[in-house]
Amino acid sequence: MASQKNTKFIFVTGGVTSSLGKGIIAASLAKLLQARGFSVTIQKLDPYINVDPGTLNPYEHGECFVTEDGAETDLDLGHYERFLNINTSQENNVTTGRIYYNVITKEREGAYLGKTVQVIPHITDEIKRNIYAVAEKSDYDIVITEIGGCVGDIESLPFIEAVRQVKWDVGPNNFLVINLTLIPYLKAAGELKTKPTQHAVKQLLESGIQPDILVCRTEHKLPQEIRKKLALFCNVNINSVIEAMDADSIYDVPLLMRKEKLDERVLAKLKLSHKVEPELTQWKNFLGKLKNPISEINIALVGKYIELPDAYKSITESFIHAGAENETKVNVKWIHSEEVNSENVASLLSSVHGVLVAPGFGERGIEGKIATIKYCREEKLPFFGICLGMQCAVVEFARNVLGLKDASSTEMQQKTKNPIIDLMLEQQGITQKGGTMRLGSYACELQKNTKAYQAYGKTKINERHRHRYEFNNRYLQDIEAAGMKATGINPKTGLVEIVEISDHPWFVGTQFHPELKSTVLNPHPLFVRFVKASLEHKILSESN
């Protein structure tokens, strides 16, 4: 069952508490290994029973990241892509729900020949099949698998057991476990405490897994005696106790892990050469620009999930990438769309130099988004609308320029007489919510001499989607005649992908999600241009 190639398997588990940053550690290690010339991918195993994160509330789980092949996945896959500059796929995110769904489907088809279906071996075999499938798909040297949740959680047990079995499948030289843990600081005692880590490692040992490396999240430096104590009680070499102090930026973490020699410890344990130094010149150049900006701008992000910034993780990271490219610090001002109206919109946006109206679903906060867009259009404030943000821009234009006062989207008003945004034909009659939207990468053709074309520098692009509703082409002629142009069109379906207002400094709406393709080494061109336009607006307004 194990991969026939000599792929190395690294597992990242978490102890003591969740949200320690396993995804960032996994992505940082992968970056360092990739920078040494190894081909690496990362996979996330999530212990919840949802089949995928597509139906999860953004308040609970943050954004749903969409891959090129249309998989709705955990937001950690966004980190993997942004750090490694490679695409992930359906195979890179697997949930307990999908594992059980696959096993039950096979059982219903009679694949188990009437045997009693059990957690061991059937569920664990399915977990291992998913781990090996990633390695086999693209012939990777190293597969890093992040186990979601916390060691000791009841729902993580089948994953931990599968990891234990992998060691015996692939052999000890092709297998490594990194346990990310917390070393809390007790202020009253003035001490760092190792006991929670000792307990977490003991739980792993009870499951038959000895961690090879401990990565210790801490707010204070780890003194040598603490490292010795951890090494002694947790059965690891002292040089495999790695300090992970809180960083100013997640993009500092690869260099911090390099300083702690995490990559060298991993390569030594896996018997891989570590003579080649990691090539991190571009990464360091990016960090240099990020930390030494020449300019500063304020961008309003108008959305309805702003209480949890992770709901817009890819957007905020795209601003970091585009800001560095423009040597400009982007301060994001979070504005709740439910709190915006025509009376207060001018004061809310008085200190910003550009506005992004965020994606989302449902009726809540729509009128606030429309009031925001009207202000941006009339006051010539740089505007960027993504997915629902683009749809709101079209509705606002139809209402206030075309005079169709009842113009709306059938997502908000089913019986509207002017459905400017409507349900796609193939979406009508669908009752299941999960995985049924227009998902993944689709082609788009750009008109020349447009803002979008200036950004991309080419006419044929591919971008990722996640939506059900589309621009209704019945209104296209009237809207274009009034000054809003469809500058990007899907060549197969004729559906509108990008709208612009040409006599505006920067007014662009996209039906797709450009933020999903922005990476450290390839900032998304639309974000780069939007930041540039906002900076130009600031310079112009200050000179007046």
Catalytic member of 467, 513, 524, 537:
513
Residue 246: other Cβ atoms inside 10 A: 11
Catalytic member of 243, 321, 515, 537:
515
Which DSSP string corresponds to 110-167?
A: TTTTTPPP-IIIIIHHHHHHHHHHHHHHHT-SEEEEEEPS-TT-GGGHHHHHHHHHHH
**Is-catalytic flag, 72?**
no
The answer to the question of whether 349 is labelled as a binding residue is no
The answer to the question of whether 415 is labelled as a binding residue is no
Which DSSP string corresponds to 6-67?
A: --EEEEEEE-SSS-S-HHHHHHHHHHHHHHTT--EEEEEEE-SSSSSGGGS-HHHH-PPEE-
The answer to the question of whether 485 is labelled as a binding residue is no
The answer to the question of whether 291 is labelled as a binding residue is no
- Tell me the CA distances in angstroms from 101 to 21, 329, 354, one per residue in order: 28, 46, 45
Bridging pattern class, strands 496-501 and 507-510:
antiparallel
The answer to the question of whether 360 is labelled as a binding residue is yes
The answer to the question of whether 76 is labelled as a binding residue is yes
The answer to the question of whether 21 is labelled as a binding residue is yes
**Is-catalytic flag, 387?**
yes
* Cα 19 from Cα 75, distance rounded (Å): 13
The answer to the question of whether 379 is labelled as a binding residue is no
First to last CA, the chain: 70
3-state helix, strand, coil in the chain (%, to 5): 45, 20, 35
Bridging pattern class, strands 93-95 and 241-245:
unpaired
**Is-catalytic flag, 277?**
no
* Cα 509 from Cα 1, distance rounded (Å): 48
The answer to the question of whether 193 is labelled as a binding residue is yes
For residue 505, say if its preceding peptide bond is cis, omega within 30 degrees of 0.
Answer: no
* Cα 151 from Cα 160, distance rounded (Å): 8
246: left (phi over 0), alpha (psi -120 to 50) or beta: beta
Catalytic member of 64, 216, 376, 387:
387
Which DSSP string corresponds to 293-341?
A: -SEEEEEEEEES-TTSGGGGHHHHHHHHHHHHHTTEEEEEEEEEGGG--
The answer to the question of whether 229 is labelled as a binding residue is yes
Phi then psi for residue 533, to 5 deg, are: -65, -40
Cβ–Cβ under 8 Å, residues 513 and 463: yes
The answer to the question of whether 146 is labelled as a binding residue is yes
399, two tokens: 């209402």
The answer to the question of whether 153 is labelled as a binding residue is yes
Which residues belong to the annotated binding site for CTP?
18, 153-155, 193-198, 229
The annotation places the binding site at 18-24, 59, 76, 146, 153-155, 193-198, 229, 247, 360, 388-391, 411, 468
Which residue numbers are catalytic? 387, 513, 515
Report the binding-site residues for ATP: 19-24, 76, 247
